[in-house]
Amino acid sequence: MNAMDFSPLFRTAIGFDRFARLLDTARTQTEAQAYPPYNIEVTGEDRYVLTMAVAGFRPEDVELVVRDDTLLISGKAPQAEGEQRRFVHRGIAGRAFERRFVLADHLVVEGARMENGLLHVSLKREVPEALKPRRIEIQAGTAPRPVIQGNATQGDVAQAA
């Protein structure tokens, strides 16, 4: 019996870490390295950092777009101007790329920075107040009696007492 490999479903999902960890421990197959390589790191409660290796790309060569629940990161390879380059060995990829990451509910991109050939994208889960659990206080004692308002005469009040 072959074990199912769910890693393609979760390697581009951020914020589903508990479920992904469960499936990750169950899988036995290794996954192929994709271009460009990246890490997804939990940096705190409801905080994540996506780090992508984009050596050779400048900040203006990389574009980040969030649409609905998807983060799209794309890069256009910088064009060498005028000079023809000949490589004996080419191990550093300089090709264009496009990666999509499915974001969990209420996960927002806080910002991005590029440092030493690495693109760091900060993400945070921001649950709206209306969807957060709230505690309801329980009152002790008896409920107050309902007061009926209306046109009562003094005789009606005397009879009620």
Q: Tens-digit pLDDT profile for the chain (161 aa)?
A: 455 665 666 566 676 665 565 555 554 333 434 789 999 999 998 899 999 999 889 999 999 999 988 999 999 987 766 667 788 887 777 788 999 998 988 889 999 999 999 999 999 988 777 777 888 888 887 777 767 776 655 555 555 55
* Number of continuous H segments (helices) and E segments (strands) in the chain: 3, 8
Enumerate the β-bridge partners of residue 75: 62, 97
**pLDDT for 12:** 66
Residues near 9 by Cβ (< 8 Å), separated by ≥ 6?
23
33-80+90-129 sits in which CATH class? mainly beta
Task: Give pTM, 2 decimals.
Answer: 0.59
pLDDT of residue 9: 60
Q: Give the span between the Cα atoms of 62 and 71, in whole angstroms.
A: 13
Farthest CA pair distance, the chain = 111
**Which among 51, 5, 55, 1 is positioned nearest to 28, based on CA atoms?**
5
